[in-house]
A and B are shown apart, each in its own frame.
Chain A
Amino acid sequence: MKQVTLSNVSKTYPNGVTAVHPTSFDIEKGEFLVLVGPSGCGKSTILRMIAGLESITEGDLDIAGKRVNDVEPALRDIAMVFQNYALYPHMTVFNNMAYGLRNRGTSKAGIDKAVRDAASMLNLGEFLDRKPSQLSGGQRQRVAMGRAIVRNPALFLFDEPLSNLDAKLRGQMRIEIRALQRRLGVTSVYVTHDQVEAMTMADRIVVLNAGRIEQIGTPSEIYHQPRSTFVASFMGAPPMNLIDADYRGNGRVYLAGGMDLPAPVETGRPGAVKIGVRPESARMVETETAGALPFAIDHVEELGAIRLFHGTLGGQPFTVHTSHEHAVPEGTAWLDLRSSTVLMFDGATGARL
């Protein structure tokens, strides 16, 4: 069942800047959808249009089967968690959570129960009488979550809620938010620029670039089957290696330096292409084997569990990801890409072939 539907929704500001080009996608009931992209890609604008904080220039937005383009935010049955928490600084934690319910005429007993339930779920029980200024960043984040939960809305909206937290807390809150959402089963839209958050939390990811959707898919699809070089290089750290090559239509692609590879796909049109290989997919060998390509190592990043080898392949930057047990070769090593997943993209448009 579809909980939210965007049909050709676009946003153009009065000064003529188009933040979001006509965009369509559905959000299933209970789904956790992540909008991800670099800053200025329009992800927050889409979220704010769903919330009703930003007007929709064209197109239709439906929430729970009802067109809500002209419905004010308070009547859309949504709850939003803001990046800087946006707690009411003059209210106690209890009142912060109760405020939305009071304005909806919930009974005093009902408010009390809802707030206490949410507070115990979020381990905020002992802080109910405190003001936001007396809480730590993580606790404020929880209060913001609590404020969303007590309302029991049709839709949760998250606008980069973890970006003000330190790395450790962010990892922890990521898991908590996802667990909470599963438990409550509330449809959620989550905006982030952090591809790790997108990969780890999403049921489905929408990758945005310059106001347009690049790809919609499960984290696995997005990672393994990127539709464009943009998605391939945005998702994954370190990003996918992309190497300029020449496809001549004879089943092989030719790299600079006289190297060549079997083409991963056959297309009718020869021309410039980019070859994509995930760093963990490339296999490094110490001795030259048939079909292996010379890989000049520049430096090695030691990350404990893994090692990253940065170097060049035919003069172009290339990174290989190995386990920490992998020996560090002297000088040139060899790359065996025969068993690797190799993708081929159009050299001009960046679309996957």
Chain B
Amino acid sequence: MKRVQFNRPLLPYLLILPQMAVIVIFFYWPSAQAIQSSFYIEDPFGFGATFVGMANYQDILSSREYLKIANFTVVFTFLVTFLSLAIGLLLAVKADKVIRGSSAYKTLLISVYAVAPPVAGLIGVMFFDQHIGPFVDLAAWFGWDMRVGIDYWDTAIAMITISVWKQIPYNFIFFLSGLQGIPVSVVEAAAIDCRSPVRRFWTVVLPLLSPTAFFLLIINMTYALFDTFGIIDTTVKDKAANNPITLVYKVYMDGFRGNDIGGSSAQSVILMLVVFVLTVFQFRFIERRVHYT
């Protein structure tokens, strides 16, 4: 790495100032505010706040509804992350082997990524619509009376399907470029050393993809936890009622629909802690198995 020595010691700080300003204004400042208001109960009409200590946290953690949503969030995050990574990888491996018409094929797969999450949600909702949705028709074919928006698990399946569908292209792009970064001769050497293509994939290709996979793991978990908000919102049509939602959506519902600023802040602080612990865990324990060339 190239080192530059600055004559004036203030200059480097000045240069990183814009970046720091963005982080402080848009991340640390709201975070600090959230932490602060999580210890207060705020008047819904904005007339002052009362300090209540840990009461908001106690309320949340003793709420059965909150625990149910937390459970669902874990299941949802795991399934969305796992499925979108697995399907993205599968498609990338297949696309990597396509020789004829590969660019058209890749463009088709990637184009889904250009769809904004709420739009993807809307398209998805139409797919699962009670009257015109082809997926509902397909389910009916197998004798499954699918009621998205009414039945808890049917809604969950629709939400997961749409979220996975939306994220596959992103994973596909990264996995494909990762695959194309593996030297051809290494793959050929493996073909001489090992007869089974499946075994070759697990022992040579996947380890060489591990930096990409690790990066995508973090991105996908973040996506499943936070960025699926728009998809959930359109699927439950802004009125969650009995339908499954994730913790982030609950923060929004309680804060902006329920006007419970204190409780909502406490929830977001809990989420922040969960993400912090998860990230530390990923870097400490999973990254060790990653091979960077």
Q: Which residues of A contact B (CB under 8 A)?
A: 51-53, 72-75, 78-80, 82-84, 86-90, 99-100, 103, 133, 147
Contact = CB atoms under 8 A, between A and B. Distances in A.
Contacts of B196: 103
Given A51-B192, A74-B194, A78-B192, 6 more contacts: A53-B192, A73-B188, A75-B195, A100-B194, A103-B195, A103-B199
20 contacts: A51-B188, A52-B191, A53-B192, A73-B191, A74-B193, A74-B195, A78-B192, A79-B192, A80-B188, A80-B192, A82-B185, A87-B189, A88-B190, A88-B204, A89-B186, A90-B208, A99-B203, A100-B192, A103-B199, A147-B189
Contacts of A51: 188, 192
A275 to B, nearest CB: 44
A53 B188 contact: yes
B293 interface: yes
Contact of A86 (B188, B207, B291): B188
Given A100-B194, A133-B293, A89 B188 contact: no
Contacts of A87: 186, 189
A79 B26 CA distance: 58
A74 B193 CA distance: 6
Q: Which 10 A-B pairs have the closest CB atoms?
A: A100-B193, A86-B185, A74-B195, A90-B291, A103-B194, A86-B189, A90-B207, A82-B185, A73-B192, A73-B191
Nearest to B210: A90
Interface of B: 183, 185-186, 188-196, 199, 203-204, 207-208, 210, 291, 293
A99 B185 CA distance: 16
B163 to A, nearest CB: 32
Contacts, number: 63
Residue among A72, A74, A79 with the highest chain B CB neighbour number at 10 A? A74
Given A80-B189, A83-B185, A84-B183, A89 B291 contact: yes
Contacts of B185: 82-84, 86
A80 B187 CA distance: 13
A51 B191 CA distance: 10
A327 B93 CA distance: 68
B184 to A, nearest CB: 9
Contacts of B208: 89-90
Residue among B188, B189, B204 with the highest chain A CB neighbour number at 10 A? B189
A52 B188 CA distance: 10
A110 B145 CA distance: 60
B293 A82 contact: no
Contacts of B291: 89-90
Given A83-B185, A86-B183, A74 B192 contact: yes
Nearest to B289: A90
Contacts of A89: 186, 208, 291, 293
Nearest to B191: A73
A99 B194 contact: yes
Nearest to B207: A90
Contacts of A79: 192
